[in-house]
């Protein structure tokens, strides 16, 4: 019970930040002497600190403010993207203490090369920051088995059957959790982003490929063997463009980054910066009409199948014009039987932007850490 | 604890049928004296009976066979279809003790008329069978809120905003549970059909409309507000046939009963018997090639999004030629990234056939009953 309360308290501080003893007691349904004992224990372990709040409210002695100490538990978060790897050291409470990133090209996309680079970078950053990490979370754009970090297929990386979790654990000597990028985006939005108050939501990850992470009844949705779905490979345009997955007309081929580039009159493989600049400078919004139609069609399908109350558009989609996102949201509400039933599914862009998967990878790594602190 | 063990024992007998005390003890992890006390208590209440098994195995005194008594708890199961209502009185253990059914036409599809007919028929059957029902389960082809049995929309019935659960409770004076038909088909297959050993499965309900019920990690999948998804309204053919839901090219418009009729050269609204007869007498299987393509495309999408290990084709689809089902299964495995990851999603037809939703409605009604017996 004490262990359970301690973990609940830590999770509350980690997710929502500093809070007074009084608020913590009220929120967790514990009496003040229990909170005091727990906070004192965590304070002695250096996991939290206390201070008198800057602003006093009301009369009487102020309740002390309890602050999570970032260096008390640091995890390594890694976001493997198609064009880039981003890495962050993230402290208790969610602060990103340090970052590194490097571009991937065909040669350096080899799993062995990626692992070597991750390990070297992690060692340098640990030295620079003078911290010892206690866990690792990795986001991969592909079909991933959560139990052991096996990457079954990550087609845009040209990875197949990569034992990423096991291989990283062997060299980093730390517990490693590997998740699908869209699932981790959903986790990040649920914990720190647009979906904090939503228990039924879908996060759409839009990079070169398009994926979806789903939380229903507050739990991540997974299929057989713990695999996460591949929403981007829903066929929406039979006879359409050939996709690397073997099908034609996958949603991803109509709404992924190359499709957006074509709509904007850019080369298929234009750098992200150029795509974002073109979106910001867009004179004629009608250029994106067809793109918006396909986006709305796929989202309406997803809403009809899963029934979320909220869809969060991540990554590249955070650069879409607000008017486009709004009109897509309206179409989804009109077109989906299930949206009408659930009271109108909202479509919004991610406030976490490009960091969503990194944040999600950190939260994945923190899950076992918070239990053990 | 005793209550928990009693419910577990009852559920085991209800689902799997008669069993010896020895097997029950082993399966439930209880010692023989606990089983004896529970069985004696249920025997005194008339819920189970015991007898010496017909076939003795091994030496020594045979373990008594424990049999659930169908009349100890009887529920009313109602399957409201587009063309017909089917009703069954179902006893503990799952035996259908009596049945009734009647056709629906536009006039008699009015919710008030349907409710009146259900109530009259239920009273007559209760008299005939000399039983008192203790609960009611209803299957409806539409968007249903499980908490209170509110039918938000059942488009093929032309129902909208029908408080079916509340209205039936008011007249039947019994607890009423209302579920989406495809969800109840999935429940039936999970408890008594093709998916007894599968915890990640999708049931496809194919009547005039097409729907899907999903079980992942052993739990029914529901979205916000408890609403179940509408898989049949996934758009697979943009610009295709107009669907009553307001979209064009819904999966249902390509693989529902009218589409199958067109492929077979029958009128769109041919009676079910004629459709089944035409399928059985099919000379030229290539007539169904396009239908099979759309079926496979939609199923591959569903598998990519949800990652089940098993898809059960119900209702009308149980009359499809085996060769067609097999080839659709092969295409789904080839086309779906996620099927490949989960080790090859199997596609099979329902062994429960047209009774699946009735059986599912009965199981829905039994859930609270087993807890209370």
Could you state, in order of their start, the residue ranges of all structural domains in chain B? 2-68, 72-184+356-372, 195-351
What residue of A is the nearest CA neighbor of B346? A224
| Contacts with B233 from chain A: Cβ below 8 Å | 304, 336-338
| A161 touches B at CB < 8 Å | no
From A203-212, A288-297, B47-56, B212-221, the region with the lowest mean pLDDT:
B47-56
First to last CA, chain B: 15
Q: What pLDDT sits at residue B146?
A: 84
Interface touch B304/A233, C-beta < 8 Å: yes
- Across the interface, of A223, A306, A334, the residue whose CB is closest to B223 is A306
Q: Look over chain A and give the mean of its residue pLDDT values, rounded to a whole number.
A: 93
CB pair distance less than 8 Å for A225 and B341: yes
CA-based nearest residue in chain B for residue A202: B223
β-strand partners of A162: A151
| pLDDT at position B19 | 93
Alpha carbon distance A75, A89 (integer Å): 6
**Contact present, A179 and A137 (Cβ < 8 Å):** yes
Position A299 pLDDT exceeds 70: yes
Q: Tell me the pLDDT band of A205, cut-offs 50, 70 and 90.
A: very high
A306 close contact with B: CB closer than 8 A: yes
Give contacts of B302 with chain A, Cβ < 8 Å: 305
Interchain CB distance below 8 Å, A309 and B224: yes
B225 touches chain A (CB under 8 A): yes
Cα B28 → chain centroid = 26
Distance CA A165, CA B185 (A): 38
CATH superfamily name and code, B72-184+356-372: ATPase, nucleotide binding domain (3.30.420.40)
* Residue B270, pLDDT score: 92
**Which residues in chain A are closer than 8 Å to B212, comparing Cβ atoms?**
305
Q: What share of chain A is helix, strand, coil (3-state, %, to 5)?
A: 50, 25, 30
Please indicate if any CB of chain B lies within 8 Å of the CB of A297: yes
For the segment B46-99, what is each residue's pLDDT rounded down to a tens digit? 999 998 877 666 666 677 899 999 999 999 999 999 889 999 999 999 999 999
- Check B340 against A225: CB less than 8 A apart: no
Using 50, 70 and 90 to split pLDDT, how confident is the model at B228?
confident
pLDDT at B188: 97
**Of B333, B334, B341, B342, which to mutate for an interface test with A (greatest number of A Cβ within 10 Å)?**
B341
pLDDT digits (tens, 9 = 90+) for B302-338: 999 999 999 999 999 999 999 999 999 999 999 998 8
Each residue of B171-183: pLDDT tens digit? 999 999 999 999 9
For A346, the closest chain B residue by CA position comes to B224
Interstrand relation of A84-91 and A74-80 (parallel, antiparallel or unpaired): antiparallel
Of B230, B300, B304, nearest to A337 by CB-CB distance is B230
Q: Does A169 touch chain B (CB under 8 A)?
A: no
Tell which of B141, B180, B223 to mutate to test the A interface (max A CBs under 10 Å). B223
Contact A245 B337 (CB under 8 A): yes
B interface mutation test: which of A142, A147, A223, A296 has the most B CBs within 10 A? A223
Query: Which one of B224, B238, B340 has the shortest CB-CB distance to A307?
Result: B224
Quote the pLDDT of residue A359.
98
Q: What is the ipTM metric for this complex?
A: 0.89
Residue A228 burial class via C-beta count within 10 angstroms: exposed 0-12, middle 13-18, buried 19 and up? buried
Please tell me the least confidently modeled range out of A3-7, A73-77, A191-195, A321-325. Answer: A3-7
Q: Tell me, what's the pLDDT at A55?
A: 67
- The CA distances from residue B99 to A231, B76, B85, B89, in Å, are 42, 10, 11, 7
Residue B41 pLDDT class (50, 70, 90 cuts): very high
A199, A238, A343 member nearest B237 (Cβ):
A238
Length of chain B counted residue by residue: 373
Would an 8 Å CB–CB cutoff place B153 in contact with chain A?
Answer: yes
Scanning A132-244, the segments in alpha helix (DSSP H) are 164-172, 181-192
Chain A nearest CA to B202, separation (Å): 11
The whole-number pLDDT of residue A52 equals: 84
A340–chain B nearest CA distance, Å: 9
Pairing between β-strand B150-154 and β-strand B143-145 as defined by DSSP bridges: antiparallel
Please determine, for residue A304, whether its predicted confidence score (pLDDT) is greater than 70: yes
For domain B195-351, the CATH class is alpha beta
- Tokens representing A357 are 């998967």
Task: Say which residue, A307 or A146, is predicted with more confidence.
Answer: A307
> Could you tell me if A221 lies within 8 Å of chain B, comparing CB atoms?
yes
CB atoms within 10 A of CB B181: 31
Q: Are strands B310-313 and B48-51 parallel, antiparallel or unpaired?
A: unpaired
| Overall average pLDDT of the A327-355 stretch | 92
Is B305 close to A302, i.e. CB distance below 8 A? yes
User: Reduced to 3 states, what is the DSSP secondary structure of residue B139?
Assistant: strand
Measured between CB atoms, which of B212, B223, B300 is closest to A342? B223
Closest residue in chain B to residue A332, using alpha carbons only: B247
Which residues of A, range 307-346, sit inside 8 Å of B by Cβ?
A: 307-309, 334-338, 340-343, 345
Q: Which of B238, B246, B336 sits opposite A236 (nearest CB)?
A: B238
**Residues 6+ away with beta carbon under 8 Å from A70:** A91, A92, A93, A95, A97
Top-tier CATH class for A194-351: alpha beta
**Measured between CB atoms, which of A145, A235, A304 is closest to B230?**
A304
Average pLDDT over residues B140-167: 91
Q: What angle do CA B108, B112, B117 make, to 5 degrees?
A: 65
Lookup result for tokens 């199958």? B260
Residues 235-294 of B with CB under 8 A from A: 235-238, 245-247
Alpha-helix residue ranges (DSSP H) falling in chain B: 2-16, 21-28, 32-44, 111-129, 164-172, 181-192, 251-255, 257-264, 272-280, 289-306, 322-335, 337-341, 356-372
Tell me the chain A residues in contact with residue B217 when contact means C-beta distances shorter than 8 Å.
Answer: 222
Within this chain, domains A2-68 and A72-182+356-372 share the same CATH topology: no
CB contact under 8 A, A227 and B145: no
In the predicted model, is pLDDT for residue A107 greater than 80?
Answer: no
Window B:68-127, CB contacts with A under 8 Å: none
- pLDDT value of position B58: 62
pLDDT of residue A146: 84
Chain B residues closer than 8 Å to A152 by CB: 340-341
Fold of the CATH domain A72-182+356-372 = Nucleotidyltransferase; domain 5 (3.30.420)
β pairing state of B150-154 and A48-51 = unpaired
How many A×B Cβ pairs under 8 Å? 157
Using the predicted structure, report yes or no on whether residue B193 has a pLDDT greater than 90.
yes
| Assigned fold of B2-68 | Arc Repressor Mutant, subunit A (1.10.10)
Mean pLDDT over the full length of chain B: 93
**Nearest-by-Cβ selection for A153 from B236, B308, B337:** B337
CB atoms within 10 A of CB A371: 13
Q: Which residue has the higher pLDDT, A339 or B107?
A: A339
Note which residues in 187-216 of chain A have CB less than 8 A from chain B: 199-200, 212, 216
CB contact under 8 A, A304 and B153: no
Bridge partners of B138, per DSSP, are B78, B178
B271 Cβ contact list (under 8 Å, min separation 6):
none
Query: Does the beta-carbon distance from A200 to B224 stay under 8 Å?
Result: yes
Q: Is B45 on the interface with A (CB under 8 A)?
A: no
Q: Which residues of B touch A246 (CB under 8 A)?
A: 334-335
Residues of A in contact with B297 (CB under 8 A): 235, 238
| Res. A235: pLDDT tops 80 | yes
User: What is the spatial distance between Cα B316 and Cα B180, in angstroms, rounded to a whole number?
Assistant: 17
Taking the Cβ of residue A228 and every Cβ of chain B, the question of whether any pair is shorter than 8 Å is answered with yes
Residue A237 in tokens = 């345009």
């Amino acid at each position: 019970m004490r262990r359970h309360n301690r973990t609940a308290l830590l999770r509350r501080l980690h997710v929502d930040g500093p809070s007074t003893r009084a608020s913590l007691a009220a929120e967790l349904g514990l009496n003040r002497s229990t909170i005091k004992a727990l906070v004192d224990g965590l304070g002695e372990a250096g996991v939290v600190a206390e201070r008198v709040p800057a602003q006093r409210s009301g009369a009487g002695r102020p309740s002390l403010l309890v602050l999570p100490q970032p260096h008390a538990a640091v995890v390594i978060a890694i976001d493997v993207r198609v064009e880039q790897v981003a890495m962050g050291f993230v402290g208790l409470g969610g602060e990103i203490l340090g970052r590194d990133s490097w571009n991937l090209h065909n040669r350096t996309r080899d799993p062995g090369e990626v692992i070597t680079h991750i390990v070297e970078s992690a060692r340098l950053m640990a030295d620079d920051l003078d911290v010892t990490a206690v866990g690792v979370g990795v986001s991969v754009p592909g079909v991933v088995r959560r139990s052991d970090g096996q990457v079954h297929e990550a087609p845009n990386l040209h990875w197949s059957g990569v034992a990423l979790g096991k291989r990283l654990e062997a060299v980093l000597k730390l517990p490693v959790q590997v998740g699908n990028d869209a699932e981790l985006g959903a986790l990040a939005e649920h914990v720190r982003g647009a979906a904090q108050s939503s228990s039924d939501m879908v996060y759409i990850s839009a990079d070169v490929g398009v994926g979806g992470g789903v939380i229903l009844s507050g739990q991540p949705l997974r299929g057989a063997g713990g695999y996460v779905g591949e929403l981007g490979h829903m066929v929406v345009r039979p006879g359409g463009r050939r996709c690397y997955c073997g099908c034609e007309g996958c949603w991803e081929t109509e709404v992924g980054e190359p499709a957006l580039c074509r709509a904007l009159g850019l080369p298929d493989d234009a750098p992200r910066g150029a795509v974002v600049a073109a979106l910001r400078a867009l004179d004629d919004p009608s250029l994106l009409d067809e793109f918006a139609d396909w986006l709305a069609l796929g989202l309406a399908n997803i809403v009809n199948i899963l029934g979320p109350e909220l869809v969060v558009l991540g990554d590249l989609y955070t650069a879409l014009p607000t008017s486009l996102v709004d009109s897509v949201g309206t179409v989804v509400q009109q077109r989906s039987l299930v949206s009408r039933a659930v009271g109108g599914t909202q479509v919004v862009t991610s406030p976490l932007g490009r960091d969503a998967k990194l944040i999600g990878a950190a939260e994945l790594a923190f899950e076992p850490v918070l239990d053990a602190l």
